[in-house]
Amino acid sequence: MNKLNFTLNKDAFLKDLFDLLAIPSVKDVEHAKPGEPFGPEIARALGQLLELGEKEGFRTKNIDGYAGYIEYGPEEAEDYISILGHTDVVPATGNWTNPPFEPYVKDGKIYARGAIDDKGPTMAAFYGLKAVKDSGLPIKHRIRLVIGTDEESGCNCMKYYNTKEPMALFGFAPDAEFPLIYAEKGRIHTRLDYKVQQHGKDSDLVLVQFSSGERINMVPDQAYAVISGSRANDAVDKIKQALDNEQTVYSVEQVDDGWKVTVKGTSAHGSEPYGGVNAAFLLANGLKEAPFSDAEKPFISFLANTLNNDFYGENLGIPFKDDITDRLTVNAGIVRFDNSQGGSVSLDIRCPVTAPLDELIETLTSEVKKQGFEIGELIKNEPLYVDQKHPGVQILKKVYEENTGEKNVELLTSGGGTYAQYLDAGVAFGACFPGKPYTGHQVDEYIELDDLVLATSIYADAIYNLANMEK
């Protein structure tokens, strides 16, 4: 492997990264418009990176606000290598030590929403590309740093990009773990809809509202319910007792419609639901002790008894496991209920690479119907699997080993999904190092500065060697 000789300018790097981290680039469809399909802040983050690319002398293109790219290499080259990063972030819920969009360094760690997912690694890839350009060394293929804007909410950006631009020869997403992830689970994102009869004002006990979660791929860390009716006072006492028995953190307040009960859980990435505490389940466990009507009980029971801590889909009849990517997982990321409109539960199901997705969907449809639910929206994403002998995979493996001094590293599989799934041949490559916690989607998200510096060096060597890869 050829290794570039460069030293990262940390001051310039941190300035550019902090400017990007300070943008609250959470999806905002309410304020979307042409050229800003996912809202103004995401558009601002995309524009800022493209402007940085122009400043450094790269070719850039904004693809209708869905994505953009920063390109280097011979314009006449037929093929290009793709590095796929994203600038959108999940909402910064929970109690942060400091404001999540005011980045800072403490004890060698960069704290901010997006520090590791995925603005930090994307900036590292940009500086790696810059190092290749500054070296002046010849390369065969064009290199594109492709910047996505909707990774956290369906990847519509990459779907759009692939209708407008040719497919890359090979690529990687700096949005996961080192040394390299060659297989990613497939995904089923679905909303289960529940219809309920509207109660009259004289009902003894009414579940007026239930709400938990903002993103399907996050374990919700807060949930609340509003209850009303002549028996609401007694019901609240039963709910409080049940929550106390489970040592749940909660609060109760009187509102116009009756009582509002709010519980606290612990957020985690939706690909690892067992790593968090789902607030919707905690709340449903309390509510199931109250004497709601038969119209509402099935919804509460589905949360409290069927989904509660059923991380592997056994109660839904869809457990699956293979030797490549292990077990199927289920995360109930968004829960809504309105007494006048009904309810819904949005599931993020991560499926092993050999799982028969259509059969799983058929079984799921049948099982939830027994409990009063119908399949609403459904999105299916096929898994990622790239042969470990692929020349691009071998280049990245050797680059990682030479930069870290590790030998014969074992390549990884993942339950998470990255932009690599939108390449004909691509993998996830960093930037979280082995043995380090991955803090994406969590409160006080961070990445270690030294790790990000090392990742920049790895990306620079990877980009250069991939740019000269033989077909």
For residue 189, list its beta bridge partners: 348, 379
The contacts of residue 263 (CB under 8 Å, 6+ apart) are 222, 223, 224, 243, 248, 249, 250, 279, 282, 283, 286
Three-state SS for 348?
strand
Beta bridge partners of 104: 111
Cα–Cα nearest to 252, from 301, 286, 293: 286
Contact residues for 130 (Cβ-Cβ < 8 A; gap 6+) = 56
Active-site option among 16, 36, 41, 88: 88
Torsion-angle region of residue 229: left (phi > 0), alpha (psi -120 to 50) or beta? left
Compute the distance between CA of residue 46 and CA of residue 65 in angstroms, rounded to an integer.
8
- Describe the crossing of helices 10-21 and 119-135 by its angle, rounded to 10 degrees: 140
Decide if 296 is catalytic.
no
Residues paired with 190 in a beta bridge = 347, 378
Place of tokens 């980045």: 103
**Integer Cα distance of 183 and 121 in angstroms:** 20
Question: What is the torsion angle, in degrees rounded to the nearest 10, for the CA atoms of residue 39, residue 44, residue 47 and residue 48?
Answer: -150
151 in active site:
yes
| Cα–Cα distance measured from residue 22 to residue 275, given in angstroms and rounded to the nearest whole number | 27
**Which of 36, 117, 151, 448 is an active site residue?**
151
CA distance 467 to 456: 16
Active site residues: 88, 151
